[in-house]
Structure 1
Amino acid sequence: MIFVALFSWLAERLRDLAMWPINLVRDFPVRSGRLLMTLYLAFWGIVRFVPEAMAALRENRLRQWLYVENGRFIHWLHRFVNELFDFLGGPELGEFFFHLITNTTPLTGTEIGQAAVVFGETGMRYGDIRVAQGGLHNWIFKLNGNLAFATWRTIHLPLTGKHKRDNWPLMVHELTHIYQYEHVGTRYLGEAVYMLIKTKRDCYNYGG
């Protein structure tokens, strides 16, 4: 039994490692497109900077304008760093190292079928999604109160408590984060964490 578990773990780690070059090629059009759009926004921001600054100075609202521009720059920088990270295959490398401390399994056929009802048959790369449980994750969940979370294409679940794998509404919630990642990239993670901090987790109290 232990040899089967070890073989399965090694097979999953080799699969994780192989996903880096595979997705570098497969996701190149989408990731490069996002990065080019972000660079275009930077170019356009530089072009309009001086005229808008002069207008703000004439209208005696330079301080307010600089405050808004600073926020825009921080937002742009966050977007640029995350899209460059995606372009270089950071998500795949991150998952490889994250998975070293735990056990991962793919979604079952039943789970894929149920997810397809919600997100569509081609809504996500269901075969690439992994569920991570056990290992050093047990220590992580002891610290965070057994709260499930998702990173890139991985759903991290505790082995005990309410946030287990058989909690399908929870699984749909975490799959939604993976759906966000597949459609906008890693930057959704930073935006989600920002909202958690800003609202003190009250963003989950939406009545759904």
Structure 2
Amino acid sequence: MRHRFDQIQNAYDILKNPRRRVAYNRYSTTNWDQQGQYTQDSSSAFNKDNFEAYRRAHAHRTNYSFENDESFWQAGTWEDYYKMKYGRKPPTKEELDKNKYKILFGVVAVGVLSFGIQVMLAIDSSNEYYAQTRLMNLKSVQDLQNSVDNYGEGSNQIERLRRFLLSRRSSLAVKEVNEPSDSTKTFQDEEDEILVKYAQKRVSKWD
């Protein structure tokens, strides 16, 4: 409801002002298709000195819409447009020639500043990449050291047998899930047999 009221109020403000009404009518009736027709009547249609030709050529651009740049549709010449947009007279050729080095310096300064910002962003991205790579390398070294240290399980025969049984139990459990078996013998029974055989082997060495 509020949006509808604002639209009506805006339309009323445009209609009650003859200058704005003419500008809005020019905006609403100008489109890209008219440009081709206009170029047939004037060989200088695309010359930027011809403000009307420029306006027809850019009527489809959003930044030149009536809502975004009303003065673009109110102005009759480039001088009028400059005055309405910047609130002062456009610079003369003599003023431009006099200040051309200042203008050039400003353009170069902006370019250098933009380039510097891009370089800083690139350096930050590179540092972030190197930091992430270093963290990955450190984690790889830590994992390798853990594997060398047997993950704290020790390296004697009993510990190696324990790791073997745990690994075997995990493998058999996965196999049982993928390929169910009718065997009634449990993993624990099989492990008990392995432990008994290992103990008997150790005892036989003592005899």
> Could you state the TM-score of these two structures normalised by the residue count of structure 1?
0.21
Higher helix fraction: Structure 1 or Structure 2? 2
> Could you state the TM-score of these two structures normalised by the residue count of structure 2?
0.21
Determine which structure has more spread, i.e. the larger CA radius of gyration: 2
